[in-house]
Structure 1
């Protein structure tokens, strides 16, 4: 059973650049990890950036609309669960854990083939049964006293 999501906002940095990360903290202690053995990374290119490489308010609205198109389709029939969102260096990255990679790939191919996307984006899906690729985001929660 997929746990009810619980989101944690983390302000951090990547290299010397600011980063905003939202992590589904419910996955930190999720024990049925073998049910979601695939790691999906979606990269969305930002167009309108502020001086620090972060998206402007208007750009963030567009990025949220793009995410609102992708996420519900991926999560239908509990095939995927949201892991994290990372915004930094002119890019928005969406991370998911996936049950059936073929279903997720077919869904993403349909979305990507539609004309005039809000923003250019691509994705990569890798088998990751031990959740090693999810560790950087989940370990960010270790610094949050609410989860220790």
Structure 2
């Protein structure tokens, strides 16, 4: 059986991303490992408490030789527009979770709204990644 273990978001600054995803969103650190043999590559993952079988990798944009300057610029531009990655989060009570996260400093794009599939609202992390928070109707969950 194949299962999803991790999904990845590009981040400008792993320390800033870690603080945001743990302090503001309320996720926990799953792994934070630096591999000296790979040029101090840092494998940093976070995930929601209670859902230990999946994590989000907060991946620093790699430099040369993996990414040339033009690609780096394109990636940063897409991130700034919220187009380089999206995470879809679900909750049992979108309005309550929205209020809790807002109180912790998460800046939302609008207010929770009724949609065909449930109640939904969005926010962006410090690197510009798009995040959707939804309370799904039974037909869509």
Task: Judge same fold: TM > 0.5, yes or no.
Answer: no
Higher relative contact order (CA 8 A, sep 6+): 1
Structure number with the higher helix fraction is: 1
Structure number with the higher strand fraction is: 2
- For the pair shown, the structure with the greater C-alpha radius of gyration is 2
